[in-house]
Amino acid sequence: MAGTFDRHRRLRSSAAMRNLVRENHVRVEDLIYPLFVVEGTNIKEEIPSMPGVYHFSLDRLKEEMEEIAALGIQSVLMFGVPEHKDYCGSEAYNDEAITQRAIRQIKADHPEMIVIADTCLCQYTDHGHCGVLQEGQVDNDETLKLLAAAAVSQAKAGADIIAPSNMMDGFVAAIRQGLDEAGFAHIPIMSYAVKYASSFYGPFREAAHSTPQSGDRKTYQMDPANAREGLREAASDVAEGADFLMVKPGLAFMDMVLRLRENFNLPLVVYNVSAEYSMVKAAAANGWIDEERIVMETLVGFKRAGADLIITYHAKDVAKWLRGE
């Protein structure tokens, strides 16, 4: 027999023992469920590349919200998909646009629900970029004015949190100033602080109708090869007044979740993005994986890395699994 060694297995001897010493847990309160709302009536259309995720018109959104609330999910992330798009994304800051109407409806029906408004221009512009174009390039500072206007419009509609995802320099400062001057100093900002120019967004672009019509987003979203740059991005957002920090996507960038956790004390959010969801769904549909175990293992991995909150398309399924359904 070998000499003295540690008996780590003592703490894994039974399910009860493992439950007793478990370090991280996924709770339904940690989950944020994304919603895609479109114009029209009687629309509930499944997004082909995202099985189980739908476009809803406002009249059909009601039944979805009833189910979400009944499952105990407390937060939703709102994406509006307008019919009208133009070069400057004017529907993003139109008080009567689809996003603002959806926010008002949800808050009227479910005042306790936390409604987080994605604040970007890509799903509202006819070119699919996250800002206005000047000679084929996104004009950073002109875009900031429109983002601030969109945030104020969303706050007026009742959004509880503004979540800018556009990766313009100075976006948190511009939105904070806009909100404060409009009387919304109490509305927090959840910054997509570390957002990579990732291939994991493919299915989302089908859902949000936001594929760039020219070029790509690499001049404003981060290079996936960079980590130290992410710390600089997050530090800027903290200095500008962010109330939450986010890492997007999650799985391939979990090191950034840990780095932000170690360097900042703000609530930390990770976005379990569309392709991460779709890959699991496709593999599960083919019987190659156990969907529930894969998803729960992924989410607890986010928590272990340091995430407080998880945006995930799996949220409804996870809420049911946590209840033993």
Residue 159 pLDDT: 98
Q: Does 101 appear as a known binding residue?
A: no
pLDDT surpassing 80 at residue 111: yes
| Positions marked catalytic | 195, 248
Domain limits at 243? Answer: 22-323
Q: Residue 257: pLDDT above 90?
A: yes
Looking at residue 164, what is its pLDDT? 95
Cα–Cα distance, 321 to 297 (Å, whole number): 13
pLDDT digits (tens, 9 = 90+) for 166-193: 999 999 999 999 999 999 999 999 999 9
Annotate 39-66 with b (16+ C-beta within 10 A) or e (fewer).
Answer: beeebeeebebbeebbbbbbebbeebbe
Tell me whether residue 130 is annotated as binding: yes
- The position carrying tokens 């540690």 is 6
> Each residue of 134-172: pLDDT tens digit?
878 888 999 999 999 999 999 999 999 999 999 999 999
Q: What is the pLDDT of residue 188?
A: 98
Q: Checking DSSP bridges between strand 161-164 and strand 137-138, what pairing results, if any?
A: unpaired
> Coil, strand or helix: which one is 259?
helix
DSSP secondary structure string for all residues of 37-102: EESSSS-EEE-TTSTT-EEE-HHHHHHHHHHHHHTT--EEEEEEE-S--BTT-GGGG-TTSHHHHH
Has residue 1 been placed in a domain? no
Is 290 strand, coil or helix?
Answer: coil
pTM: 0.95
pLDDT score of 19 more than 70 = yes
* CATH code assigned at 122: 3.20.20.70
**How confident is the model at residue 245, as a pLDDT?**
98
Which two three-digit tokens encode residue 16?
């009860």
Minimum mean pLDDT range among 51-60, 98-107, 205-214: 205-214
In eight-state DSSP terms, residue 314 is T
> Phi and psi of 37, rounded to 5°?
-115, 135
The pLDDT, as a whole number, for residue 137 is 85
Within-domain flag for 3: no
* Position 13 in a domain: no
Q: What is the pLDDT of residues 263-279, one digit of tens each?
A: 999 999 999 999 999 99
Residue 5 within any structural domain of the chain: no
Is a pLDDT exceeding 90 seen at residue 317? yes
Q: Provide the domain count of the chain.
A: 1
Pairing state of beta strands 44-46 and 54-56? Answer: antiparallel
11 part of a folded domain: no
Mention every residue, 6+ apart, whose C-beta is less than 8 A from residue 178: 148, 149, 151, 152
Tokens of 85: 């798009």
Residues 194-207 as b or e (16 or more Cβ within 10 Å = b): bbbebebbebbbbb
Q: Is 274 annotated as a binding residue?
A: yes
* Sequence-separated (6 or more) residues with CB below 8 Å from residue 150: 89, 92, 93, 119, 121
CB of 296 closer than 8 Å to CB of 224: no
User: In this model, does residue 2 exceed pLDDT 70?
Assistant: no
The larger pLDDT score, comparing residue 290 to residue 82, is at 290
Whether residue 294 lies inside any domain: the answer is yes
User: Where residue 307 falls among pLDDT bands split at 50, 70, 90?
Assistant: very high
Task: Tell me if 88 is assigned to a ligand binding site.
Answer: no
Whether 228 is covered by a domain: the verdict is yes
Model confidence at 56: pLDDT above 90: yes
Q: Is residue 17 part of a domain?
A: no
Cα 114 to Cα 107: distance, rounded to the nearest angstrom:
8
| pLDDT confidence band for 85 (50 / 70 / 90) | confident
